[in-house]
Amino acid sequence: MTAPAAPGHPEERARTIAFVTYPGLTPLDVVGPLQVCSALADLVPEFTVVVVGEHKEPMSTDTPVSLVPSHTFDEVPRPDVLIVPGGLVPTLAAMADEHLLDRLRGAAADAEIVGSVCTGSLLLAAAGFLEGHRATSHWMFRDLLTRFGATPVAERWVEDGRFVTAAGVSAGIDMALHLVRRLAGEDTARLVQLVIEYDPEPPMGGIDWAAAGTEAYTPFADELLAQALEGDPGLLARLRG
């Protein structure tokens, strides 16, 4: 369910929020915050939401669902807000994809806000955006941010100037609600939260990070990184320190 449509036409909307797609991403990284921002666009005609990719063709994800961008990067060269989703091996491999990184550099050059979800922050970092900035990512790969000159922060979402990064997957919804609050005010953000009925109650309760034992997954994370960057041993060595 989305908010009731507000009057106005897309061509009258002056501020564009663009979500990036690339093969192998995690769909909830896009769809969660996309739903939040689409509700914003329904409520406030000043905003429009697009999904950009290299081509307007079905794009594979890390689930059986494919995504089709609404626009190409060339059609939306200067969005006001750019959000980059993450994923596992395909996203880690994309850190070495200079064509994609150049697309991000171009799209983010004049953006008011540049955001990411999960390991999407590693793509922002690889593109050179996060040096000297605080940022977060999925807990399994968050410390890799240091290799790009960023300061990793173990928080649900982190804002540092125009950069807003979210932790793993579902944290993108929290970040997007913060963006709505930043762009349109708290009343609008609360209405969006109500419209999408975002009131999570995990059946097992929240995560006990102190007892989670995340360090046990370090070998698995390193294995994924090695798989992803098999073709770029230089970058792999840099990230391994």
- Whether residue 146 contacts residue 82, with contact meaning beta carbons closer than 8 Å, is answered with no
Residue 118 annotated among the catalytic residues of the structure = yes
Q: Are strands 157-160 and 163-166 parallel, antiparallel or unpaired?
A: antiparallel
Name the 3-class secondary structure at 43: helix
- Whether residue 17 contacts residue 41, with contact meaning beta carbons closer than 8 Å, is answered with yes
Token couple for 30:
């896009």
Q: What are the respective helix, strand and coil percentages of the chain, to the nearest 5? A: 40, 15, 40
Burial class (CB in 10 A: 0-12, 13-18, 19+), 106: middle
Token couple for 85:
């989703």
State the Cα–Cα distance between residues 88 and 104, nearest whole angstrom. Answer: 19
Residue among 76, 118, 180, 228 flagged as catalytic: 118
- Whether residue 52 contacts residue 76, with contact meaning beta carbons closer than 8 Å, is answered with yes
Active site residues: 118
